Chain A
Amino acid sequence: MKAGAPTIVNFAVTRECNLKCKHCYSRSIDSPHPNELSTAEAKRLIGQIAEAGARLLVFDGGEPLMRPDIFELVRYARVVGLTPVMGSNGTLITSEVAMKLADAGLEAIAISLDGADAEAHDSFRGVEGAWDRTLQGIENIRRAGIPFQIAPTLRHGYWEYWGAVADKAKEWGAKAVEVFDYVPAGRGEESPEFEMEIEERRAFIREYIARQRADDGMIYRCIALPQIWVEVEKNVPEEEVLAKFVRSCCAAGTRYCCVLYDGTVYPCMVLQVKAGDVREQGFVDIWQSSEVFQILRDRDRLEGKCGRCDYRYICGGARCRVYAKTGSLTAEDDACWFSEEELKR
């Protein structure tokens, strides 16, 4: 399949972070990686991402606000025609930082909130006081007029809180809630016990669908749980699907990819197989010709139940989870709960 342009590219600008999250896909610590892209290299990359036809550039990390030149990079993304957005833990967003982000042209920001209260959030994020500072950051972003979304991570035994977070997000004026299903990738490999069980996922999806159906004013998205779309198609009338629901997964390597702070290119932040290195090869060339991307773009190469599934072009299984468990990009997703019969359209 010929590559279309990427819709979204994540640029993890630094490894440095002020939190110690248990699920950190980039294994961030309190110092930058010694081999991080320089400002000039980062700008060159941003130019190449624009040249590839991408629209949205997500700055994340690590914590992107730890990088001293972050405002310059955001501004530059706008100059080359990209829509710059950011993923942040929110703790460093003072009112001054929020205004500087607005001034640099940041279009939107996603702020992680991994609990319905301080205790749950701080224990997962590894630093006491993070909750309070994150909430203050959200308030500062709101005052600066930057559209924002809230991003909770679901985990085994602790997923039902997402509804309370979604309620808060709505109250605060968030535009969207982007839910992440825990993937044992990066530092997450060390805590496989956080991975949800199938029945938890199904229960979450029922809530997710009910919430989106009842709510016209908020967009709910879900990452790393592509089977959600199969449930949506099976359980929601077509007019409502078209009017309200957004399919956000899985686009790894087809519409989306991730560039790490040292130039390594991955299909997704949680599908960590190297597709290239922007210090050795241009981004456009990697996007168009990487063997890893070619494999991911060809859903007819999927194996087992995924290969026989009529939904493979819109679901394809959670490739991140399959890869983390099997080392294969094409093996079937054994966490899929649908029968072969249910996977016919």
Chain B
Amino acid sequence: MRKMRWDEELWRKLKDAISPMPPFVRQRALVIIVEASEAFARERGSEVVEEEDLVKAAKTKTPPFARKQMLESLAEMGINVKPEETSEL
């Protein structure tokens, strides 16, 4: 699924965040998020996917039905998704 190098701790946090989701929802969400995160990393000229790429992908590319849950789950794992934005989603 991953085509680029990821910050391994970030990858673990993403896996932890999505682990309570039903598998079929999770699979869909994960493919979209991974592709988008890697695209954002490439856009800024990085060879490694980092937190800012994942957060941007989660905010802009997660399917609307899963976005709120995704951002809250990432925040729960210690990823900075800017709480003032998640609370209003």
Are A and B associated in one complex?
A: yes
**A7 on interface, CB distance cutoff 8 Å:** yes
- Complex partner residue of B20 from A1, A242, A248, CB under 8 angstroms: A248
**Are the CB atoms of B19 and A245 closer together than 8 Å?**
yes
- Complex partner residue of B72 from A4, A219, A229, A246, CB under 8 angstroms: A4
Known: A244-B23, A246-B19, A246-B22. A1 touches B72 (CB 8 A): no
Which residues of A have CB within 8 Å of B77?
A: 313
**Are the CB atoms of B75 and A243 closer together than 8 Å?**
no
**A254 on interface, CB distance cutoff 8 Å:** yes
- Complex partner residue of A238 from B15, B73, B76, CB under 8 angstroms: B15
Which residues of A have CB within 8 Å of B83?
A: 2
Give the number of residues in A that approach B within 8 Å (Cβ atoms). Answer: 24
Bound complex: CA A219 to CA B73 (Å): 21
Bound complex: CA A291 to CA B15 (Å): 29
**A333 smallest CB distance to B (angstroms):** 19
Bound complex: CA A219 to CA B20 (Å): 12
**Are the CB atoms of B76 and A4 closer together than 8 Å?**
yes
Complex interface residues of chain A between 229 and 255 (CB less than 8 A to chain B): 229, 238-239, 241-248, 251, 254-255
Bound complex: CA A305 to CA B22 (Å): 30
**B5 on interface, CB distance cutoff 8 Å:** no
**A52 on interface, CB distance cutoff 8 Å:** no
**Are the CB atoms of B20 and A7 closer together than 8 Å?**
yes
**B64 on interface, CB distance cutoff 8 Å:** no
Which residues of A have CB within 8 Å of B86?
A: 2, 4
Q: Count of A-B contacts with CB under 8 A?
A: 53
Known: A4-B76, A53-B68, A313-B77. A247 touches B19 (CB 8 A): yes
**A344 on interface, CB distance cutoff 8 Å:** no
Bound complex: CA A2 to CA B69 (Å): 14
**A162 smallest CB distance to B (angstroms):** 21
Known: A242-B15, A314-B16. A2 touches B22 (CB 8 A): no
Complex interface residues of chain A between 308 and 345 (CB less than 8 A to chain B): 313-314, 345
Q: Give me 16 other A-B pairs in contact (C-beta within 8 A), A1-B75, A242-B15, A247-B19 excluded.
A: A1-B76, A2-B75, A4-B73, A7-B20, A53-B68, A219-B22, A241-B15, A243-B23, A245-B23, A246-B20, A246-B22, A246-B23, A248-B20, A313-B16, A314-B16, A345-B12
Give 22 A-B contacts (CB < 8 Å), ordered by A residue: A1-B76, A2-B75, A2-B87, A4-B72, A4-B75, A4-B76, A5-B72, A7-B20, A53-B68, A219-B22, A229-B19, A241-B19, A242-B18, A242-B23, A242-B30, A243-B27, A246-B20, A246-B21, A246-B23, A247-B19, A313-B76, A345-B12
**B residues at A contact (CB < 8 Å):** 1, 12, 15-16, 18-23, 26-27, 30, 68-69, 72-73, 75-78, 83, 86-87
